[in-house]
């Protein structure tokens, strides 16, 4: 399956990380299920994908509210991330996105724009030997308003010195596509694992 890019010439590519560059969503889901099970909290796979791109702490707070739980947000977040890091050696890149990274690397600047924390993003990209391909990383610590707000994408464009209208965003979630649109950027949607067969 090939990704169909929108028409036009772009001066920078902005990539979400999880589910876009790296096929990490199944690993994140395992880490979520394991860490939440200890608190008798359920997290359906459909909801997990629907909430893709949301910061970890927001997800835990929302699950607390929805299920009448009182999970300690920081402790659960740290535990979930630790479980995910143990699974990192199993991570793989998404071939349809790698094709565009390899084709344009060195020709235009790239940034990663993620709802995950820097340690998680750097960990995944390092396992795949991709970290040096990106000119900027914009992670959860770098902005206040997460996707669908445009803040993270606008910050990435600013770091690369490229106007938002000249950026192309690669995203796997509706929240990410909304954020790109709000930033005035063109985007391409990367299908979820089940759709990529």
Average pLDDT over residues 151-172: 98
Helix (H) or strand (E) holding 30: helix 25-37
**Roughly what angle, to the nearest 10 degrees, separates helices 73-87 and 25-37?**
130
Percentages helix, strand, coil for the chain (3-state, rounded to 5) are 50, 15, 35
Tell me how far apart the alpha carbons of residues 129 and 127 are, in angstroms, rounded to a whole number. 6
Which residues have C-beta within 8 Å of that of residue 127, sequence separation ≥ 6?
A: 88, 89, 91
pLDDT for the residue 106: 96
Q: Would you state the structure tokens that stand for residue 118, as one six-digit string?
A: 């820097």
Given the residues 16, 18, 23, 151, select the one marked as catalytic: 16
pLDDT tens-digit series, residues 73-103: 999 999 999 999 999 999 999 999 999 999 9
The mean per-residue pLDDT over the stretch 163-179 comes to: 95
d(CA 91, CA 99): 17
CA distance 60 to 66: 10
Q: Write the CATH number of the domain with boundaries 25-89.
A: 1.10.150
> What is the spatial distance between Cα 93 and Cα 113, in angstroms, rounded to a whole number?
16
Is omega for the bond preceding 62 within 30 degrees of 0, making it cis? no
What confidence score (pLDDT) does residue 50 get?
86
Determine the pLDDT at residue 49: 86
Which CATH superfamily, name and number, covers 12-24+91-195? HAD superfamily/HAD-like (3.40.50.1000)
Residue-range domain boundaries for the chain: 12-24+91-195, 25-89
Render pLDDT for 16-65 as a digit per residue (tens, 0 to 9): 999 999 998 899 999 999 999 999 999 999 999 888 878 899 999 999 99
Q: Give residue 11's pLDDT.
A: 98
Whether 16 is a known active-site residue: answer yes
């Amino acid at each position: 399956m090939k990704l169909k890019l929108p028409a036009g010439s772009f001066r920078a590519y902005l990539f979400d990380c999880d589910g876009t560059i790296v096929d990490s969503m199944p690993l994140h889901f395992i880490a979520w299920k394991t860490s939440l099970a200890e608190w008798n909290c359920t997290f359906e796979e459909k909801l997990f994908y629907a909430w893709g791109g949301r910061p970890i702490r927001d997800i835990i707070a929302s699950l607390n509210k929805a299920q009448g739980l009182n999970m300690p947000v920081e402790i659960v977040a740290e535990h979930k991330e630790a479980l995910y890091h143990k699974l990192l050696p199993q991570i793989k890149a998404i071939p349809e996105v790698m094709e565009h990274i390899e084709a344009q690397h060195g020709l235009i600047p790239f940034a990663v724009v993620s709802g995950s924390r820097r340690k998680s993003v750097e960990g995944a990209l390092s396992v795949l030997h991709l970290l040096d391909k990106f000119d900027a990383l914009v992670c959860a610590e770098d902005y206040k308003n997460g996707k669908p707000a445009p803040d993270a994408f606008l910050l990435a464009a600013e770091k690369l010195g490229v106007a938002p209208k000249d950026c192309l965003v690669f995203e796997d979630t509706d929240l990410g596509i909304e954020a790109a649109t709000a930033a005035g950027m063109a985007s391409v949607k990367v299908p979820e694992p089940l759709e990529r067969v």
